[in-house]
Amino acid sequence: MSFFKNIFSSEKKATLDKGLEKSKSSFFDKLGKAVAGKSKVDDSVLDDLEEVLVTSDVGVNTTLKIIDRIEERVSRDKYLGTTELNVILREEIAALLSETHSGNATDFSISTKYKPHVIMVVGVNGAGKTTTIGKLAHQFKKQGLNVVLGAADTFRAAAIDQLQVWADRVQIPIVKQNMGSDPASVAFDTLQSATSSNADVVIIDTAGRLHNKVNLMNELTKIKRVMQKVVPDAPHEVLLVLDGSTGQNAFEQAKQFTAATEVNALAVTKLDGTAKGGVVIGISDQFQVPVKYIGVGEGIEDLQVFNKFEFVDSFFK
């Protein structure tokens, strides 16, 4: 198939390969046990493969789609050996993901249609939200863009402090108020500061609470409404950060947040520390919201744009 070609630099590809090692090792251990002693892909092997995919956090619905594709391949090709299963899986998952909105990018980019380009970041506490914001700001700054951060997660002093640490590290301005301040007020001040300084990108952090969807919806709606007093069509991007190490819980968080606000981009973090990397395949397939970034390490350069073909290639390498 023509899906696979070198898109990333060798350094980025090596980081991606390394970041997916735990997921890959776990998956192929399970797959090896499932096909041990079997030479042909038959109903028994497909049943075992289904279990391997589900237990690798690919998700039930996506797993069933993959199994259907492989069944079609088996009936078309008449005979497929288990030794070919790795290649077949790689091709069919890539083909499935080629139909989704996720991951065609090869580098960090923003729309030049808006200035400033406003990104509102949402997600539960502990998902890697602040770290993702810092690494994203670093990537934009590397491109010569002027970036401003807004610390609108005012419910935790630690959230403001952590964002300040990243602002200092990347050497970009941050707008903040005291803990307990109105988040919408912080967002308003941030956009005013960004427009007066002719900034290219604004990244707004928000509180990571999910205990009450109605309150969350009201809060995020208010932040949007207040931002639009300064930049009429803000935010241009609502980025939901999900912790990949939580596996199926990431699916649930995606459902909750997409119901609470108009999420139009996803970032899946902490893939290097987990065997649950298969969740990216399921999330890419199941949500009509594109996975835009993945976190594959702790280093400042280890936030990558998500390219589904590079991801599948590394996963099945």
Residue 90 corresponds to which tokens in the numbers above? 């790689």
Predicted confidence band of residue 146 (pLDDT cuts 50, 70, 90): very high
For the residues 297-308, what does the mean pLDDT come to? 91
Strand partners, 151: 205
∠ CA 134-162-123, rounded to 5°: 70
pLDDT in tens, 36-63: 888 888 899 999 999 999 999 999 999 9
Residue type, position 283, single letter: I
3 state SS of 287: coil
- Phi, psi dihedrals of residue 144, rounded to the nearest 5°: 85, 15
Q: Is residue 299 over pLDDT 80?
A: yes
| Percentage of residues of the chain with pLDDT beyond 90 | 58
Maximum Cα interatomic distance, the chain, rounded to a whole number of Å = 68
Residue 182 corresponds to which tokens in the numbers above? 């109105």
- What pLDDT shows up at residue 218? 86
CA distance 8 to 258: 30
- What pLDDT shows up at residue 110? 79
- What pLDDT shows up at residue 6? 62
Q: Is residue 7 over pLDDT 90?
A: no
Would the pTM of this model clear 0.85, i.e. be above it? yes
**Residue 239, phi-psi category: left (phi > 0), alpha (psi -120 to 50), beta (remainder):** beta
**Residue 210, phi-psi category: left (phi > 0), alpha (psi -120 to 50), beta (remainder):** alpha
Predicted confidence band of residue 103 (pLDDT cuts 50, 70, 90): low
For the residues 66-86, what does the mean pLDDT come to? 85
CA distance 293 to 17: 15
